[in-house]
Amino acid sequence: MKKQVLLWLLSGVLFLNACQNNTIHNETASMTFTISEKPFGQINGDTITQYTITNPQGMQVSIINYGGTVTNLLVPGRDHELGDVVLGFDSLSGYLQKANPYFGCLVGRYGNRIAKGKFILDGQAYQLTLNDHGNTLHGGVQGLDKVIWQASKPAGDSSLKLTYTSKDGDQGFPGNLVIEVVYTLSSDNALQIAYSATTDKATPVNLTNHCYFNLSAGKQNTILDHEVMLQAEKFTAVDSLLIPTGQLPDVKGTPMDFTTPKKIGAELAAVKGGYDHNWVLKRKGKDLEKIATAYDASSGRFMEVFTTEPGLQFYTGNFLDGTLKGKQQQKYQQHAGFCMETQHFPDAPNQPSFPNTIVKPGESYRSLTYYRFSVK
């Protein structure tokens, strides 16, 4: 009896303590999934809404319908304390600023680069808007990260569905592209992102998400001590503007080798500019497969990445320079976070040997990725 009372008291103290640290939310007590919403600012009279899904374990994801952006991802650490493992801003103005380096957003129509924003499809030349040293990055000047998505809540309270129609000619891309992205939290602490799209004209499609992870939840200023594994024996070699040369060198014996877990910082200095490359995933087939992991020993948080995609852009926040004021006034310095952007290869529309990215009328583009969290 005495023991029970002690345990009860102890759990009460822990709960209060966690509340004071603002690391636990009321929804945590819920044994089911919940989804809540609140206004997150306005763009030209349109209200932007922030949706928060909570799973029975208390894990939470918050998403705004501007850019389909993941603003917060609260995941337990070894000590059971929830911590926010993605970089971002506290308010909409942060996300709207020009310097926002694609924090947490959906990326498309074509994630990564298309050389000179040009490609030829069915004999016709297309010119996209240019936004990266004369090339097209992440879908052009106004990509899917900078538009307002239509949000709806499918049954079950564990998902948020976002839809957007990118009109024929948007950023220079052919075809009306109807896009649907469903974010789902699972009860085993995974954030799943399911992408689908259909078109009325042949067009390249390469959708992804641009979360910057720091599994220490801000306790470590950089991710250089995180240990990463990438299931890839090759990567797409790039020129000085990060455009693929078409070559797929072996990672073996180079700083690009993450086939066994290695600290991100171990050999980063030997890679000019830091890691910002597409790894060619070693896959068994086209089904969902685990292809990457990341581990932060300080918090115990472990992330596993599963995808149906053939490539992964592993980017180590090289362009962050401490000038952005992020959540709770954090200054995000270089390497404050890393991205694992599951994708088809950059510039595939101009590289016939790369896996196909052209979607035709009557076909359905489908892609599935999930980031699963646990502790070690």
- Rounded least distance, CB 33 to ligand GLA, Å: 31
List the structure tokens of 158.
């564990």
Give the type of residue at 70.
V
Q: Given candidates 66, 102, 275, 370, which one binds ligand GLA under the rule CB under 6 A?
A: 102
The count of chain residues that interact with ligand GLA, using the rule CB under 6 A, is 11
Q: Which two tokens stand for residue 370?
A: 């999930």
- Is residue 227 within the footprint of ligand GLA (CB under 6 A)? no
Q: Do 203 and 174 contact (CB within 8 A), yes or no?
A: yes
Q: Which of 287, 288, 33 is nearest to 154 (CA)?
A: 33
Nearer to ligand GLA, 62 or 316 (CB): 316
Radius of gyration for the chain, computed over Cα atoms and rounded to the nearest angstrom: 21
Pick out residues in 263-282 that bind ligand GLA (CB under 6 A). 276
Spatial distance between the Cα atoms of 297 and 306, rounded to a whole number of angstroms: 21
Q: For ligand GLA, which is the closer residue by CB, 163 or 350?
A: 350
User: Is 130 a residue that touches ligand GLA (CB under 6 A)?
Assistant: no
Interface with ligand GLA (CB under 6 A), residue from 339, 340, 348, 359? 339
Asked if 232 and 258 touch (Cβ cutoff 8 Å), the reply is: yes
The 237-266 contact track toward ligand GLA, x by CB under 6 A, reads -----x------------------------
Min CB(231)–ligand GLA separation in Å: 19
From the list 225, 321, 312, 234, the residue with the least C-alpha distance to 276 is 312
Nearest to 277 by CA among 221, 213, 347: 347
The catalytic position among 138, 277, 335, 341 is 341
User: Applying CB under 6 A, does 321 fall inside the site for ligand GLA?
Assistant: no
Name the amino acid, one letter, at 364. S
- Taking CB under 6 A as the binding criterion, the range among 3-11, 51-59, 313-321, 329-337 that sits at the site for ligand GLA is 313-321
Catalytic residue status for 341: yes
332 part of the interface to ligand GLA, by CB under 6 A: no
Instruction: Using alpha carbons only, give the angle 109, 158, 53 rounded to the nearest 5 degrees.
Output: 85
Give CA–CA dist 80/84, Å, rounded: 13
Number of other CB atoms surrounding residue 288 within 10 Å: 14
Nearer to ligand GLA, 83 or 143 (CB): 143
Spatial separation of the C-alpha atoms in residues 131 and 136, rounded to whole Å: 5
End-to-end Cα separation, the chain, in angstroms: 33
Nearest distance in Å: CB 330, ligand GLA: 17
Cα–Cα distance measured from residue 294 to residue 304, given in angstroms and rounded to the nearest whole number:
7
Q: Which stretch binds ligand GLA (CB under 6 A): 17-25, 53-61, 193-201, 312-320?
A: 312-320
Determine the length of the chain. 376
Comparing CA positions, the residue from 208, 141, 195, 206 lying closest to residue 172 is 141
The residue range among 59-67, 81-89, 311-319, 323-331 that interacts with ligand GLA, by the rule CB under 6 A, is 311-319
Among 315, 338, 345, 371, binds ligand GLA (CB under 6 A): 315
- Residue 319 sits in the site that holds ligand GLA (CB under 6 A): yes
**151 lies in the site for ligand GLA, by CB under 6 A:** no
Within residues 38-77, the interface with ligand GLA by CB under 6 A covers: none
User: Which residues would be at the binding site for ligand GLA (CB under 6 A)?
Assistant: 101-102, 112, 137, 242, 276, 313, 315, 319, 339, 341
Mind telling me the catalytic residues? Answer: 210, 341
